[in-house]
Amino acid sequence: MTTAGLVAAILIGLGTVALRGSVVVLAEKMGEVPPRVTQVLRMIPAASLAALVTPALFRPAGAFDLLSPELLAGVLALLVAWWTKNLFLTIVVGLVAVALLGLVL
């Protein structure tokens, strides 16, 4: 394990316990979260996960590319994820597709 990895793991771990315990630990002191705050928090998973996906699909090697094996395999994986809601199947189909398309494109 690298030093940067260890430092990152410890800082993320401490920060994450703080986020997880933010309200549960202070339960008797805090009321309900305001609905407006809830609406903002609700957007976080969608926005952060999307930002982790699209660069690997549209810029697989750094440059913008609309005909890469990664993008086509990603679209296929998206359809599989949509229909099956199955994480494992999505990964397997996506990996097989990117390998096969890599031979063709």
Instruction: State the binding string over 9-28 for another protein (x if CB under 8 A, else -).
Output: xxxxx-xxx-xxxxxxxxxx
For residue 41, state whether it binds another protein (rule: CB under 8 A). yes
- Give CA–CA dist 18/26, Å, rounded: 11
Number of residues that bind another protein (CB under 8 A): 71
Least distance in angstroms from the C-beta of 101 to another protein? 11
Least distance in angstroms from the C-beta of 40 to another protein? 4
Work out which of 1, 61, 103, 104 binds another protein, going by CB under 8 A. 1
Note every long-range contact of 69-75, with CB atoms under 8 Å and residues 24 or more positions apart, other chains counting: 69/97, 69/98, 69/101, 69/102, 69/104, 69/105, 70/98, 72/97, 72/101, 72/105, 73/97, 73/98, 73/101
Instruction: State the binding string over 63-92 for another protein (x if CB under 8 A, else -).
Output: -x-----x--xx--xx--xx--xxxx-xx-
For residue 103, state whether it binds another protein (rule: CB under 8 A). no
User: Are the beta carbons of 75 and 56 closer than 8 angstroms?
Assistant: no
